[in-house]
Amino acid sequence: MKKPNPILTVLSAASIGFLIGVSFPLRIAPTVVFPFSLGDGNCIVSGRNILARFSTPFGNSTSTAEGTPVLQQSNATSDSEKTAPLEKTKPKGAERLPPNIVVRESDLHMRRLWGHPREDTPPRKYLLVLTVGYSDRDNVNAMVHKFSDNFDVMLFHYDGRTTEWDEFEWSKQAIHVSARKQAKWWYAKRFMHPSIVAPYEYVFLWDHDLGVETFDAEEYIKIVKKHGLEISQPGLDIVRGVKSFDINVRRNDTEIHTSTSAGKCSTIDVHQRPCSGFVEVMAPVLTREAWSCVWHMIQNDLVHGWGLDWNFWRCVDEPEQQIGVVDAQYVAHHEGFTLGNKDNDTVDGSRRKVRLRSSAEFGMLKARLYNADRAQAAALLAKSNAAPPS
């Protein structure tokens, strides 16, 4: 008896298997994973993806926005439920991209134009931001030297002069942003988005006119970590500088303080601002989480930032515990209000007119927050009333 041709037998079996396979919607091929990949770290094709793409035309397939098949399970319910977890991982604008290529955050650390990226120095742990003019260079230079190599440095230049700062070696590694005659909070809103400063544990957003002879940034950070301060500032030495509020004055008998009964606070409730849970917009130090909240509170058209410090409490859970003044590391505020031309009060841009706008912005922010609070309360009440009784 003639033996059957083994090739024909294999082909017949494969054909029968193929016909049976296409008769069922269940796809098992994509669940197989082969331990190989093609390409470099930015272009990886796994065995799972290859099988999934070949099996897509057969049965009921579902694809995401970027065309990557979604594996169907026998107990799946709907297409929207299958794709929802994947889509939630993508920020707006990245819907067409595969999730593993999306980068949500960046930093302000400069990198080389040569060599392998893995060999670049990593972003620093902390960020120092100063708004400066070239005439401030000596004091700014002294300030920067109080911050260690753990800090990236960014300067906002209000006078348009940037390259002159290269007389300082540290300036060559700093980020320089130039826009003439703008205020600190105008820059902060536009160049310090939370996704950009996210790598930094703490952000120091300081004025340029602080005396730092007795200050050490690393020691400061140790103290705020020890006490769990989300928003803080160094105490103010009023022998060498000026003050605006009693709560910010340095004490000699404590490491930090979060409230005061001195001055006007002796006659009002100590739990009210600015008697507790309060630091100024002059020299705040914020965790990245607190900064994300504060950044969203900054108004695009209110450039001076007046009134933000009265509302920092909104960005922490326990203001009287998480907002405080560090007495053990203190500075002197030398000049106070310095914006504007001080020679002629009648011209546009004079110090008097700048201060008038600052005060007006304070009132505008207060009114906007009041209206926002009322609207939120009304919305919550309406939602509560609309909920079915439990």
Of 277, 330, 276, residue with least CA distance to 146: 330
What does DSSP say about strands 175-178 and 210-211: parallel, antiparallel, or unpaired? Answer: unpaired
Q: Pairing between strand 210-211 and 202-206?
A: unpaired
The pLDDT of residue 31 is 40
Environment class of 83 (CB within 10 Å of its CB; exposed 0-12, middle 13-18, buried 19+): middle
pLDDT at 91: 85
SS3 content of the chain, % helix, strand, coil (to 5): 40, 15, 45
Of the listed ranges 159-168, 266-275, 318-327, the one predicted with least confidence: 266-275
Determine the pLDDT at residue 5: 61
Mean pLDDT to the nearest integer, 34-54: 38
Q: Higher pLDDT residue, 3 or 40? A: 3
Residue 272 has pLDDT above 60, yes or no: yes
Which H/E stretch holds residue 202?
strand 202-206
Which pair of structure tokens corresponds to residue 203?
């952000």
> 128 forms bridges with which residues in the sheet?
153, 204
- The per-residue pLDDT for range 289-312, each reduced to its tens digit, is 999 999 999 999 999 999 999 999
Instruction: Give the β-pairing of 210-211 and 323-333.
Output: antiparallel
In which residue are the tokens 């109080």 written? 146
Residue 338: pLDDT over 70 = no
Full-model pTM: 0.74
pLDDT for position 56:
38
Mapped onto helix, strand or coil, the DSSP state of residue 152 is strand
Q: Beta 231-236 vs 285-287: how paired, if at all?
A: antiparallel
In whole angstroms, give the CA distance from residue 256 to residue 233.
10
What is the arithmetic mean of pLDDT over 45-59? 37
Provide the pLDDT for residue 64. 37
Q: How confident is the model at residue 57 (pLDDT cuts 50, 70, 90)?
A: very low
pLDDT value at position 134?
A: 95
Q: pLDDT above 70 covers what percent of the chain?
A: 73
Residue identified by tokens 């009440």 is 381
Residue 14 neighbours by CB under 8 Å, 6+ apart: none
Question: Does position 9 have pLDDT exceeding 90, yes or no?
Answer: no
Residue % of the chain over a pLDDT of 90: 62
The answer, yes or no, to whether residue 68 has pLDDT greater than 90, is no
pLDDT band, residue 63 (cuts 50/70/90): very low
> Per-residue confidence at 114, pLDDT binned at 50, 70, 90?
very high
Q: In the structure, what pLDDT confidence band is assigned to residue 324 with cuts at 50, 70 and 90?
A: very high
Q: How confident is the model at residue 73 (pLDDT cuts 50, 70, 90)?
A: very low
- What distance in Å separates the CA atoms of residue 59 and residue 22, rounded to the nearest whole number? 7
Taking residues 170-176, report their average pLDDT.
96
Average pLDDT value for residue range 337-343: 59
Residue 144: pLDDT band by 50, 70, 90 thresholds? very high
- Decide which of 3.40.50.620, 3.30.43.10, 3.30.390.30, 3.90.550.10 is the CATH code for 126-339: 3.90.550.10
Q: Which of 63-67, 263-267, 278-282, 338-342 has the lowest mean pLDDT?
A: 63-67
Residue predicted with more confidence, 57 or 78: 78
Using an 8 Å Cβ cutoff, are 308 and 281 in contact? yes
Is residue 80 scored above 50 in pLDDT?
Answer: no
Task: Name the helix (H) or strand (E) containing 195.
Answer: helix 194-197
Q: Report the mean per-residue pLDDT for the chain.
A: 81
pLDDT at 90 over 50: yes
The pLDDT of residue 268 is: 83
Would you list the DSSP string of 109-143?
----SSS-GGGSPPPPSEEEEEEE-GGGHHHHHHH
SS (H, E, C) 292-328: HHHHHHCCCCCCCCCCCHHHHHHHCCCHHHHEEEEEE
How far apart CA 158 and CA 182 sit, in angstroms, is: 6
Tokens of 281: 């917009």
Which range is least confidently modeled, 121-125, 168-172, 204-208?
121-125
Mean pLDDT of 223-227: 98
Q: Which residue has the higher pLDDT, 90 or 224?
A: 224
- For residue 12, what pLDDT is reported? 62
Q: Residue 26's pLDDT is what?
A: 42
